[in-house]
Amino acid sequence: SKAGGPRATAPGQQLRALFYALPPGESSFRELEEVPDYVEKSIPFFIAFIGLEFAVSWVQKRKLAGRINDGISSLSLGILSRLPDVLFRSIELISYIYVWNNYRLFELPWDSPWTWYLTLLGVDFAYYCFHRMSHEVNILWAAHQIHHSSEDYNLFTALRQSVLQKYTSWIFNLPMALFIPPSVFAVHLQFNLLYQFWIHTEVITKLGPLEWILNTPSHHRVHHGRNPYCIDKNYGGTLIIWDRIFGTFEAEDAKVVYGLTHPVNSFDPIMLQLRPLAHIWNMFWATPGFCNKLSVIFKGPGWGPGKPRLGLPEEIPVITGKEVPYNPSVPAYLNCYAVVHFAIIMDLYTGLLGSVTVLSQVTILLRIAFIILSLTSFGLLMENRPKADILEIIRCLVFVAVYKLGQLRSQFSSLSYTYEV
């Protein structure tokens, strides 16, 4: 690698990074600038594993692992969550580096295996604490619930992320900045996130003795369930030991029904991000008493006046086994249309990531605005909403105009005319 720049990672290393299987000798770096962007480099593997999951699901059950509308919704939310990183450096790293530079107590050696394994435990425990708080504090849940809003459970769901969540999670990592170098922290922050991709699947059942230590697909299926026995369980990221220690572990038992206890029934990525905040806002003003208003924000999402902090378990809707996922009927050609146009936006998005250093801020903002407009339009089309077709026609006209002006460019120059058609 060039001095001061990220090191290149071989495909085999990148694949092992998905499973937290890169040992200290291969993933320890002196400087933060040397740390590879493991997440961005994993995009081809995400696509490959999604295809593999669909194939295995078809062999096992003679059905696909998900639906087009829900899959596009999850991918749209994933793209939306990463767009702020195009403009700003990660707040998790900015805050960590600030504490490290100004308040660190001592410095553990960056190249010691002991530092590497201690950071693994520290990052995972911080994630457990934040994740648990995100389910038990209403304002944090308003952001995190987006990840739980899918009524399918597949690898698409792993990419379904909140725009706002990262702006609160950073606080839980700061104690490590008192003694763990940022370069070591940055590696494990990515590994912890990447590990959680492959556990979002139904095609893997049980993993034997590993179930005692690691977070597995079986454990995480429980976490995504809306069955009463699944609520507020299995918060671990990479390890399940924290749940076993602190009493939040639950083994998979009855068939898990996925999604929120009160489904949102939408594929619009902007609405999915903002509706929970609007709900808290309305509850805040409708609830009498200043202390009760604060409780609306800082107690559990099931809380109400006169109830325990996390609400009443008996108010959780009973699962009948007859629940039907939100699935508006749309013509087959519209599904094909949405898939093709979403693929075009994926091309433009990855192209934006690759050229962000040479583009002006105005160009970046315009491209981000067009991506957001497109993802919103796809969501409304998948809902078969009135006048969604008008918005889509406007979007396509905007696309052709800015494409002709050279403000949008495909990574594949041979497809330019095809894109305009």
Each residue's pLDDT tens digit, 241-252:
999 999 999 999
Average pLDDT on 28-33 reads 95
pLDDT at 2: 41
Q: Does residue 314 sit within a domain?
A: no
Average pLDDT on 185-214 reads 96
Whether the Cβ atoms of residue 317 and residue 323 lie closer than 8 Å to each other: no
Q: Supply angle C-alpha 242, 18, 29, rounded to 5.
A: 90
**Boundary (domain end) residue, out of 223, 246, 269:** 246
Same domain, 351 and 236: no
Same domain, 239 and 358: no
Residue 254: pLDDT band by 50, 70, 90 thresholds? confident
Same domain, 48 and 197: yes
Please determine, for residue 287, whether its predicted confidence score (pLDDT) is greater than 70. Answer: yes
Rounded to 5 degrees, φ, ψ at 225 are -80, 155
Q: Does residue 90 sit within a domain?
A: yes
Residue of 375 and 86 predicted with greater confidence: 375
Q: Identify which of 332, 334, 421 has the alpha carbon closest to the alpha carbon of residue 377.
A: 334
Whether the Cβ atoms of residue 149 and residue 74 lie closer than 8 Å to each other: no
Residue 54's SS3 state is helix
Q: Does residue 304 sit within a domain?
A: no
Give the domain extent around 101: 12-246
Q: Which of 19-23, 147-151, 213-217, 417-421 comes out lowest in average pLDDT?
A: 417-421
Same domain, 238 and 347: no
Counting the structural domains of the chain, the total is: 2
pLDDT at 379: 95
**Boundary (domain end) residue, out of 207, 226, 246:** 246
Percentage above 70 pLDDT, the chain: 98
pLDDT at 88: 78
Q: Does residue 202 sit within a domain?
A: yes
Same domain, 68 and 202: yes
- Report pLDDT digits (tens) over 98-138: 999 999 999 999 999 999 999 999 999 999 999 999 999 99
Average pLDDT on 375-400 reads 93
The neighbour count for residue 133, using CB atoms within 10 Å, is: 17
Strand partners of residue 225: 258
The span from the CA of 418 to the CA of 421, in Å, is: 5
- Report pLDDT digits (tens) over 310-342: 999 999 999 988 889 999 999 999 999 999 999
Q: Does residue 291 sit within a domain?
A: no
Residue of 34 and 88 predicted with greater confidence: 34
pLDDT at 1: 39
Token pair of 12, please?
């085999």
Start-to-end CA span in the chain (Å): 41
**Boundary (domain end) residue, out of 246, 273, 296:** 246
Q: Does residue 190 sit within a domain?
A: yes
Same domain, 174 and 30: yes
pLDDT at 4: 52
Token pair of 336, please?
């094909």
CA separation, residue 74 to residues 80, 122, 156 (Å): 10, 29, 6
Q: Does residue 392 sit within a domain?
A: yes
Q: Does residue 306 sit within a domain?
A: no
Same domain, 59 and 182: yes
SS (H, E, C) 144-191: HHHHHCCCCCCHHHHCCCCCCCHHHHHHHHHHHHHCCCHHHHHHHHHH
pLDDT at 5: 59
Same domain, 231 and 363: no
Same domain, 228 and 341: no
Residue 104's SS3 state is coil
Q: Rounded mean pLDDT of the chain? A: 92
